[in-house]
Homo-oligomer: A and B are copies of this chain.
Amino acid sequence: MAKLRVGVLASGRGSNLQSLIDQSLSGRIDAEIVLVAGNKADAFALERARQAGIATCVIDHRKFASREAFDTAMVAALREAGVELVVLAGFMRLLSSVFIDAFPQRIMNIHPSLLPAFPGLDVQRKALEYGARFSGCTVHFVDGGLDTGPIIIQSVVPILENDNEESLSARILAQEHLIYPRAVQLFAEGRLRVEGRRVRVLPPADPAEAVLFNPAVD
């Protein structure tokens, strides 16, 4: 089976990128990361990619007159690499419709809250300040809104009495590293069907594939 060609966009330290690299290299997901693109040359995510022998590409958004021009350049780089699925891993630029329309329902993002609660930035702090008892993380397809796209997988963690932003973020991040590769694998297996804003997860085509996640994750 040909592996899914994945392009990752990253601006930061790239811990989610690392978990995707690890699972890809170990063959636990049927995906190959063919390009890691970023807008900041010094992002540690790019260094992780280079260390894994993955092609990188830096496109400096400050050199473009508009968001659309920047997105057009990003799309061209991803298409050039034959990318079938775009994965956002701490990519800190909003995508315009130029980008989103170029990869319809082929862009995933991960967000460190149980959406629709706490969209946007600094969400672990917001969850703590709100006094929520649970938070978690969400992998979703990207649409034109801010963290509003159809939800693929969510994971829940408790918020504990003595949590601070750091301890809660770490607990959520551990779950992110589990569910993001899982979402990519479901996509690679062709098992995700978007109906309205609900994402249906089909059973595996070959039951033997489920052995990779035995006991089954879903």
Contact = CB atoms under 8 A, between A and B. Distances in A.
In the complex, the count of this chain's copies comes to 2
Nearest to A179: B133
Contacts of A117: 114-117
Interface string A118-153: 100000000011111110101000000000001101
B130 A154 contact: no
A62 interface: no
A199 B131 contact: yes
Interface in A135-179: 136, 138, 150-151, 153-154, 156, 161
Contacts of A201: 161
Nearest to A150: B131
A53 interface: no
A115 B114 CA distance: 10
A3 interface: no
Contacts of A134: 114, 136, 154, 156
Contacts of A115: 117, 132
Contacts of A199: 131
List 4 A-B pairs, minimum CB-CB distance, nearest first.
A133-B154, A131-B198, A117-B117, A131-B151
Interface of A: 114-118, 128-134, 136, 138, 150-151, 153-154, 156, 161, 196-201
Given A114-B114, A116-B130, A156-B156, 14 more contacts: A114-B117, A114-B132, A115-B117, A115-B132, A116-B118, A117-B117, A129-B197, A129-B198, A130-B197, A131-B151, A131-B197, A131-B199, A132-B151, A133-B138
